[in-house]
Structure formats: structure tokens, C-alpha cells
Amino acid sequence: MYQTYIFENGLRLIHYRVPTKAAYCGLIINVGSRDEREEESGIAHFIEHVIFKGTEKRKAYHVLSRLEDVGGELNAYTTKEDTCVYATFMAKDYERTLELFADIVFHSVFPEKEIEKEKDVVLDEIDSYKDSPGELIFDDFEEQVYEGCRIGRNILGNEAAVKSISREMILNFVERNYSPDRMVISSVGDIPFEKLVRLVEKYFACYARRGEPLVRVKPEIYVPRFVEVNKDTHQCHCIVGNVAYDNKEDKRLPLSLLMNLLGGSGMNTRLNLNIRERYGLAYNIEASYTPYSDTGICMIYFGCDRENADWCLDLCKREMRALYEEKLGPVQMKRAKTQMIGQLTISSENYENLMLSIGKSFLIYDKVDSLEDVYAQIGEITPEVLVQVAEEIFDERKLSVLIYK
């Protein structure tokens, strides 16, 4: 059973108690790369790097050693709409972890020397990314779909933008966006909820709301595009996809079911069975759906030999078309739902994934559906709804394509 609490400064806490010696905790902030100003491209991700480089009372070494000295791990990530600092540690070290979170989120000093040093690290990360076309193409596709919109920009930023980041810019971004009312602390571990509330109160209640209200500009009208880019790669990489539902749309779960059926994590997906197993055309083929606060995007990716690119793309479109030309039968529906329920159940047994998942859900919806509720929602999906969703999202006239050749 999830337990929640909202503090006077707007900070939210969600906890799931499990009888384990290890614990998992994260501080999720409702700010990401799409919330950067034009001159700040890449700064949200850059802060994720330098936030560990020293606080008012700790040097970088002591920040990193605070949990590692007791066997814990400290990490962070940035997406287009949120930033997260999270840790894995022994359950007895909750207080040590929460104190450290508060220190680095509210008291980081961002030393000039460390900023300049970290610029080289991030620039190397950007160069490394460019050498991985199978990863780069996802960001390039989003930039193509959301052309001219902040949400389409690469999370890492670009070389010129990273080089221009200053300490003053970092402090300004943090002051505007790192406010308690835009934060959720998510916890999975063996600690009584009342004790956890007292610890969070001790280390976070003193910070007042600050900054400015979060305002996001919805992407403009989507125009499908077909783009080919010549790259010196051994393989041809391709993505085909469309804009999709935002994270408040009721049809996001049926779309998730369709994408899982097409190219989810299982080896028995329609795309894998057809393109890889039947024809041997691609080693890797996958489908994904990412909902955002005011839009969403679904993508099918594959890598293949250049001479097979058109064939693979045609097979992908054929599988997408089949989902709205013919309803799934009772056996197919049951199999698809059972598979998705099983995957969700297994994923929930990974407590770090669970901690991040419930934290993000609480951040977006102010609630978390139990697994039983989600199972019930999946059970209510009908073949007719899947056809309707497939017609809206997989219509070939609405699809964009990006190919690296």
C-alpha cells in the first residue's frame, strides 16, 4: 500500500514499505530540458553533472563518498520534463541519504573550476552519442517531429551551448526551477512511514517555495516528414512514427498495449516475428511510446542492411495497418493483455524501477494506481478501442520517417 504526505511548502512524499535490507529513494523535480530558455540549451542535464561537485559544507569527494562509504550508490538523470537524484543504500541509512539530497539540491555551490572541467566531460558525452547512430536517431527523430519546439531539442544540448554555460546561468536556472512544490521524494524500503515523514520534515521543511510557475508551450501543429540522412555507418538505421497521446489521455494505455504487441520487450512481438524471425532482415527492432505533459510520441526503430531498408519499412507499415484493418480476436486479446500484465508485475519486483515509477506518477497525477487497478484497466480494453487508437496513430498519412543511410 502506497503512503503519501504533502508538506506545507508543497513538497510531496510517497513511500512503499517492503521488508528488505536495501532501500531506494529519489528526489524528482518537475523540470527538464524542454523548460530551458533558448540560451540555456543543455543546462538541465549539465546541472545533473555539476550538482555533485561540492556544496557549502562538502567538497566533491565528500559528496560522492557520503553514501559510497557505507556501500550505497548515488546517481541522477535528466529527461525532457524531469530531473532526478536517486540512491540505493542500506535501510538504516535513510537519514544520511535524505540529508545528502537536501544538501546537494539546495546548497550546491557549482565551483567555476568544476564547471569548466565538466564541460569537457559533457562534450565528450555528446561526441560519444554522435558515434552511436542507433541512439542518436531517436533524438533526431523527436527534433524532426517537434521542429522548432523546445521539447524537440536534444537533452545534452550542443557544443556551442555547453561551452557558453556559466555559473550565473546555473544559479539562475536552479533558483527558477528547484522549488519544493515541484518536487517529489519517492521511497521504497523498510522504514516506518511516520519516521520517514519526520526525517523529510527535518531536512526539507525549512525550504520555502521559490522561482516562477511552470509554463510549457504546447508543440505547434505536427506536419509529417520523410527525411533521409547520409551517414558513414555500416548499417541503415530507421525510425517511423507519429505524435501520440499526452500523459493525461485515457487512450494512452490502449496505445501502450498496441506498441507492446508490435515491438515490446518480448521476442514474440509482431515486428520481431515478421522482420527478424521470418525474413532475417534486422537484428534489432523495437517499438516505444513516450507520453509528455501536453503531447506524446510513438516510434518504431530498426537497423538493417541498406538494400533492405525499404522492405523493412514496408513491413513495419503493413503490421501497423493490420492493427486497424482487422480487430484482434479473443485469443489474441487475451494473450496481449496477459503478456503486458506479466511484464508490469515482473518490473514492479525491481524496487529501484518501482521507486522511480511511483515517484513520477505522483509527480504527474498526484496519485499512484495500484497494480490491481492497472490490471483492471487493461482488462477493460476492447478490440474496438484498439482499432480506433490504431487508426488515429498508425494512419500512414500521418507517419514521419527518418533514415540514416
Residue 220 has pLDDT above 90, yes or no: no
For residue 55, what pLDDT is reported?
Answer: 97
For residue 360, what pLDDT is reported?
Answer: 97
Asked which of 99-108, 209-218, 319-328, 337-346 is least confident by mean pLDDT, the reply is 209-218
For residue 212, what pLDDT is reported?
Answer: 81
CA-to-CA distance for 28 and 47, rounded, in angstroms?
A: 14
Order of all β-strands in the sheet with 400-404: 226-229, 400-404, 236-244, 296-304, 282-291
For residue 261, what pLDDT is reported?
Answer: 96
CA-to-CA distance for 348 and 120, rounded, in angstroms?
A: 37
> Domains of the chain: which residue ranges?
3-204, 226-404
The DSSP 8-state label assigned to residue 278 in this structure reads: I
Decide whether 3-204 matches 226-404 in CATH topology: yes
Alpha helices in 166-293 (DSSP H): 167-177, 193-204, 252-263, 270-271
pLDDT category, 199, cuts 50, 70, 90? very high
Please choose, from the candidates 84, 88, 165, the residue with its C-alpha nearest in 3D space to the C-alpha of residue 126. Answer: 165
For residue 157, what pLDDT is reported?
Answer: 94
Q: At what angle do helices 252-263 and 383-394 cross, to 10 degrees?
A: 80
> Which whole number is the average pLDDT over 356-372?
96
How much is the CA Rg of the chain, to the nearest whole Å?
A: 22
pLDDT in tens, 252-290: 999 999 999 999 988 899 999 999 999 999 989 999 999
- CATH among 3.30.70.270, 3.40.50.1370, 3.30.830.10, 3.40.30.10 for 226-404: 3.30.830.10
For residue 1, what pLDDT is reported?
Answer: 86
Please give the mean pLDDT across all residues of the chain: 95
Q: What is the pTM of this model?
A: 0.94
Residue 211 has pLDDT above 90, yes or no: no
For residue 213, what pLDDT is reported?
Answer: 85
pLDDT category, 234, cuts 50, 70, 90? confident
What is the SS3 assignment for 151?
helix
pLDDT in tens, 58-73: 999 999 999 999 999 9
Please choose, from the candidates 297, 299, 284, 286, the residue with its C-alpha nearest in 3D space to the C-alpha of residue 240. Answer: 299
> Which whole number is the average pLDDT over 106-115?
96
Those residues whose C-beta lies under 8 Å from the C-beta of residue 275, and which sit 6 or more positions away, are 281, 282, 285, 302, 312, 315, 316
For residue 131, what pLDDT is reported?
Answer: 86
Residue 93 has pLDDT above 90, yes or no: yes
For residue 182, what pLDDT is reported?
Answer: 97
- Region at 365 (left for phi over 0; alpha for psi -120 to 50; beta for the rest): alpha
> Which whole number is the average pLDDT over 328-349?
96
CATH number of the domain at 3-204, please?
3.30.830.10
